[in-house]
């Protein structure tokens, strides 16, 4: 199991706004080339995003399903990577004074990933999570700097 955290200098609602925006998924998930809504209304339970990961010259396709959604405090995802299996990613979004503590927890659920899971793979996941949480923080910073009428999903310009 790979668990990593990051303190983000914005309130939980601002962090949640980025996580709840399906157009931002590929921007914060390391390794994802692109993503698009596939089923339901993201991030409602049961909704899914289709994503593409580029490995060399090959594109791999998968889906990420929402398994638990408690805005703005918790988002749990099941990532289906086809032959590689599935993984659970949990994002715990905690108020921390005026800031937000985001705790990311990932572990394999089914398939090949669960069979070969070991401490070395957890260490690699730690590096990936460091990058993902840094990207998430950058997106939250960008969103917070926009005037409220210009934020994606606000109904203003750029929505």
CA terminus-to-terminus distance, the chain: 37
Pairing of strands 2-8, 32-39: unpaired
pLDDT digits (tens, 9 = 90+) for 4-29: 999 999 999 999 999 999 999 999 99
pLDDT at 151: 55
Judge contact between 24 and 46, C-beta under 8 A.
Answer: no
Contacts of 121 (CB under 8 A, 6+ apart): none
- H helices of 37-111, where? none
Q: Which residue has tokens 């070395």?
A: 120
pLDDT at 155: 42
d(CA 11, CA 9): 7
d(CA 111, CA 116): 9
Q: Which CATH class is domain 2-150?
A: alpha beta
Q: Which residue has tokens 């914005």?
A: 10
Helix or strand holding residue 27 (H, E): helix 25-28
pLDDT at 136: 97
Which regions of the chain are under pLDDT 70? 1, 112-120, 122-124, 126, 149-159
d(CA 4, CA 60): 26
Residue ranges covered by each domain of the chain: 2-150
Judge contact between 51 and 64, C-beta under 8 A.
Answer: yes
pTM of the full predicted structure?
A: 0.83
pLDDT at 107: 83
Burial zone of 101 (CB within 10 Å; 0-12 exposed, 13-18 middle, 19+ buried): middle
pLDDT at 58: 87
């Amino acid at each position: 199991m790979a668990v990593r955290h990051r303190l983000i200098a914005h309130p939980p609602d601002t962090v949640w706004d980025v996580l709840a925006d399906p157009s931002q998924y590929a921007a914060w998930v390391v390794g994802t080339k692109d993503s698009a809504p596939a089923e339901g209304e993201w991030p409602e339970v049961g909704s899914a995003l289709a994503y593409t990961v580029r490995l060399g010259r090959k594109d791999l396709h998968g889906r990420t399903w929402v398994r638990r959604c408690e805005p703005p405090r918790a988002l749990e995802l099941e990532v289906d990577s086809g032959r590689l299996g599935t993984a659970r990613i949990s994002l715990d979004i905690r108020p921390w004074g005026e800031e937000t503590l985001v705790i990311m927890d990932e572990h394999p659920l089914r398939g090949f990933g669960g069979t070969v899971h070991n401490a070395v793979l957890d260490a690699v996941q730690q590096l990936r999570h460091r990058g993902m949480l840094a990207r998430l923080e950058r997106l939250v910073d960008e969103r917070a700097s926009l005037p409220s009428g210009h934020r994606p999903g606000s109904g203003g310009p750029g929505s």
